[in-house]
Structure 1
Amino acid sequence: MGCTGPVYLKGFVGAANPVVGNISTEPFQYNDFIVEHEGIKSSPLFGVGIGYQFNTWLRFDMTGEYRGDALFVAHDRYPGGNGTFNRGSNDFAGEFLPGTNEYTANMKTWLGLFNAYVDLPTVLCVTPYVGAGIGMSSISVLGLKDVNVPNNSVFYGADNTETNFAWAVYGGLAYDVNPSVTLDLSYRYADLGDARSGTVTAYDGSSSYAGVNIDDVTSHDLMLGVRWKLGHTVAAPVPMPVAFK
């Protein structure tokens, strides 16, 4: 790109579009559960960072972001049958009716990454780039509810936070507004790791199970950011000469 300072600050906002790889619970071990749907709704994200322009084509930065409240929804079903069923510390024997579970919860995520980018040749004042990052994610599952309508049952999950290794890859376009300010539009694929609720207990305390596992959380993120290059000032315009008669 054009004029660049060695150190820059950045801020960005965007839309997080998470994807769940799979869900499971402790009862999955004892019956033929079929997961009909699992997913996390889109949510906003907000982040800041500080970076260093190593040369005209290579730069690094560290970013931290908050991914706003997102709604987790899932449901499964299972057939009836005979046998022994263990749910938490309780054993149940006899004939089991078929049922379903409808799960809902709020999810909050913090993501910190160390990133490296390669700036490609500028075309028509726009500089495309690619990048990759590694870091840590912290995913909280809050207020989980498991409703089994056919069996008139409601369970509630304790809040829980999981910390994971995270990684990401980027592709984006940058435009220099002036020597100090760059606009940045990017796409990111992020792997955030696994999430899990705390212990899930029946509304009447009659039984419980270890928790709902929300595995392989990834996200397709669209972001718009601004980079401020430190140490650069925009030159003041040269005053027009004044003619004296």
Structure 2
Amino acid sequence: MGQTRSLIIGLALVMGQTAGAYAADLGLPPPPLPPEAPCIGCTGPVYLKGFIGAANPNVDNIHSELFAFNDFQVFHKDIKSSPLFGIGIGYEWSSWLRFDVTGEYRGKSLFIAQDRFPGGNGTFSIASNDADGTFPPGTNEYTADIESWVGLANAYIDLGTYLCITPYIGGGVGVASVSVLGLKDVNVPASSVFYASDHTETNFAWAVYAGLAYDVNPSVTLDLAYRYTDLGDARSGTVTAFDNSSSYRSLDIEDITSHDLMLGVRWKLGHQTAAPMPVAFK
């Protein structure tokens, strides 16, 4: 019985080789290869991301046309912290280089500034209204809300993965739409209050990043990042006295930058999961 089985197997192998050679002689195509198994655990190069964070902005200086008429001294200017929220889509070019495009909303933050001027003799002009002669010293206390939208195109360099942790650096360029809302200018010594119309400036923006990414699994990555962001300048609309007696063009808020701390999640698309084990029936 064993010899018969061996003989049958040998004949089958010889016939298979003979049939393949005969098909080749006739010019027939080779039999199709079996389909490749899916890459279990692999992901595609495209990812989605979402992030939240805290913006800690600074302002370099403030200015208005009134500063040309007296020796104004700015002794305080500040923008308070605010939350930020963003989303994006990215592409992993290689194991160390990736790109993404992000859009974010930076919530309203309180702007505060104070200045003072010594007064003097001469003409002090506010818009078309002139005050000739001696005018007393004074101070202005400014408050407003600052709100912005930022869109950036970013590139990152991943610096190697260690225990599922990947440090990286990056940079981005884009646009920032910065709004000054509800500006109020109070001059207590002069018993004067001015209100400004809302105004939005759209500027070139840029950013640099440093961060750590942690691979939770092949398709989900947590991302903790620091970002320095330059949003450009902002300004209010026309500033008018409460009794419409005078006005000036705007208060300019110069060179807004921000130290941002962000926590995000990246979802890699195209992840293949293992097929379920077949169930044997008896």
Q: TM-score range by the shorter chain?
A: over 0.9
Matches within 5 A, 1:44-59: 44-59=83-98
Identity of aligned residues (%): 72
* CA positional deviation for 1:123: 2.1
Per-residue deviation, residues 200-237 of structure 1 (Å, max 9, x unmatched): 00000000001100000000000000000000144478
Question: 2:43, 2:272 within 8 Å by CA — same for their partners in 1?
Answer: no
* CA positional deviation for 1:90: 1.3
1:223 equivalenced with 2:254 (yes/no): no
CA distance in 1, matches of 2:261, 2:78: 18
Residue 87 of structure 2 aligns to a residue whose secondary structure is: strand
**1:146 counterpart (185, 209, 228):** 185
Structure 2: which amino acid aligns with 1:227? R
Per-residue deviation, residues 115-143 of structure 1 (Å, max 9, x unmatched): 00000011232100000000000000000
- Equivalent position of 1:30 in the other structure: 69
- Equivalent position of 2:167 in the other structure: 128
TM-score (norm 2): 0.82
CA distance in 2, matches of 1:129, 1:235: 31
Per-residue deviation, residues 155-193 of structure 1 (Å, max 9, x unmatched): 000100000000000000000100110000000000000
- Equivalent position of 1:166 in the other structure: 205
Structure 1: which amino acid aligns with 2:270? G
Cα 1:157–1:228, aligned 2, differ >3 Å: closer, same or farther? same
1:198 equivalenced with 2:233 (yes/no): no
Aligned pair count? 241
1:69 equivalenced with 2:108 (yes/no): yes
Cα 1:95–1:180, aligned 2, differ >3 Å: closer, same or farther? same
Structure 2, unaligned stretches of length 5 or more?
1-40
- Equivalent position of 2:271 in the other structure: 232
CA distance in 2, matches of 1:177, 1:238: 25
Residue 66 of structure 2 aligns to a residue whose secondary structure is: helix
Cα 1:9–1:94, aligned 2, differ >3 Å: closer, same or farther? same
- Equivalent position of 1:112 in the other structure: 151
TM-score (norm 1): 0.95
Structure 1: which amino acid aligns with 2:254? D
Question: 2:209, 2:228 within 8 Å by CA — same for their partners in 1?
Answer: yes
Higher relative strand content: 1
Residue 29 of structure 1 aligns to a residue whose secondary structure is: helix
CA distance in 2, matches of 1:195, 1:238: 61
* CA positional deviation for 1:89: 1.5
- What root-mean-square deviation, in Å, do the aligned CA atoms of Structure 1 and Structure 2 show? 1.7
Larger radius of gyration: 2
- Equivalent position of 2:24 in the other structure: none
1:89 equivalenced with 2:132 (yes/no): no
Cα 1:128–1:236, aligned 2, differ >3 Å: closer, same or farther? farther
Higher relative contact order (CA 8 A, sep 6+): 1
- Equivalent position of 1:8 in the other structure: 47
Structure 1: which amino acid aligns with 2:130? D
- Equivalent position of 1:211 in the other structure: 250
Higher relative helix content: 2
CA distance in 2, matches of 1:238, 1:102: 72
CA distance in 2, matches of 1:143, 1:54: 45
CA distance in 2, matches of 1:131, 1:3: 25
Structure 2: which amino acid aligns with 1:115? N
Structure 1, unaligned stretches of length 5 or more?
none
